[in-house]
Every structure is written in C-alpha cells, then in structure tokens.
Structure 1
Amino acid sequence: MLACGNGMSTSLLAKRMQDAADKQGLDAVVFAGAVKTIPSEMDKKHPDVVLIGPQVRYVVPELKEKLDVPVEMINTMDYGMMNGENVLETAKKLVAASK
C-alpha cells in the first residue's frame, strides 16, 4: 500500500509499481490511498508493506508503532520521478526483511 495526503499523487506511482510487478511476473497488488484510510485498508486488504509519500512523512513513526507490517517513507527522488521500479524494489526488500 502507498499512502499520501489524499491518495492522488501515490495513485500514479502505484500504477507504475503494478506495471513493474506485472513485468517481473510477481503476484502483487499495489494500491494507493489517503493516510486516513490506512486502518480500514489494513483490515480489508492486509497489505504486506505500507509506503508513505514524503509530504506526510510525519506519520511514519506513529504508523510504525501501530502497524504490524513494515512502514517507510518513499525515497523523495523516486517519488518525484514516479520511479515505480525502484519503489517496488524497496517494497520487496522490506517485505523480505520482515519475514
């Protein structure tokens, strides 16, 4: 799951990540939403990792305490460039490290 203030800017990045995952043949579902939707999305979709847009980085420490999955801020450069491949690699590493 990707999250930002309203889920708008992360939606494009999620699409690019999904395209990269599909290209790699990964069984992955990448989706975006607003930070305020994270609790309900955790209940509904059970994401393996939550990546937060740089503009709302202040929520990362609180989410790390509350959630039982890895939570990190998306690299600012990758976010600005909408580099779905790099952000997907970050997500894969976080999931692998949590197992």
Structure 2
Amino acid sequence: MKNILLVCTAGMSTSLLVTKMNTAAVRLEVDAKINAVSEADLKNHIDGVDVILLGPQVKFLLGKIRDQAKSTGAKVEVINSVDYGTMNGEKVLKYALDLINNK
C-alpha cells in the first residue's frame, strides 16, 4: 500500500483533492492510503508516509518539511499549481506514484 500525505495550511483545501485522488485510485486499481493534514499537524502523521505533497500555497515550507521528513525517507514535493487549482486527482495521484517509484 502506498501512503500519500497532502499538506496545506489547515488541511481543508487539500481534502477535496484527497477525495478526487481516492476516486482515481479506485478507478486505476491503486492500493493507496491518501490523507490531508495541516502543516501544524504533520508531525503526528509523518511516520510510514511514502510521499508528502504540499499545496502550492505552502511551497515556502518545502525546505522545512523536507528536513522533518529526512529520517522517514519520504519524498517531499509541491503539487503543480494547475493540477491543484483544477483538483485533478488523477494527475496528482500519478505524480505521487512516480515520486514513490523513483525513490
């Protein structure tokens, strides 16, 4: 199972994207656990995560979150702003899977 975590300021704007990513995962038959959390709550959810994707609005946190995730081996990247803005769950899911598979 792939463990994907989305992070934004409050974890709310990414929640809709998580729903769309879960729908895409079912359609593509991908075994994935996908969740969204706030940056402040990340420390409680970081263990066991394969990839952490940041909402474009918090891309300034990239370095800080990479440092937090260093010991976990999780990849940390920013979601493409067009894919985020259009809530393209399938594209974001495929991006996450590419990051996991190219560790």
Which structure has the highest strand share of the two?
2
Which structure has the highest helix share of the two?
1
> Aligned partners of 2:24, 2:49: CA distance in 1, in Å?
18
RMSD: 0.9
Relative to the length of structure 1, the TM-score reads 0.92
Deviation at 1:66, TM superposition (A): 2.5
> Aligned partners of 2:95, 2:81: CA distance in 1, in Å?
13
Deviation at 1:7, TM superposition (A): 0.5
Aligned twin of 1:35: 39
User: 77, 81, 101: which is aligned to 1:76?
Assistant: 81
Relative to the length of structure 2, the TM-score reads 0.89
User: Which ranges in structure 2 are unaligned for 5 or more consecutive residues?
Assistant: none
Deviations 1:27-53 (A, max 9, x none): 10111110111111013xx22100000
Q: How many residues align?
A: 96
Aligned twin of 1:26: 30
Quote the sequence identity (%).
Answer: 40
Aligned twin of 1:16: 20
> Aligned partners of 1:34, 1:49: CA distance in 2, in Å?
15
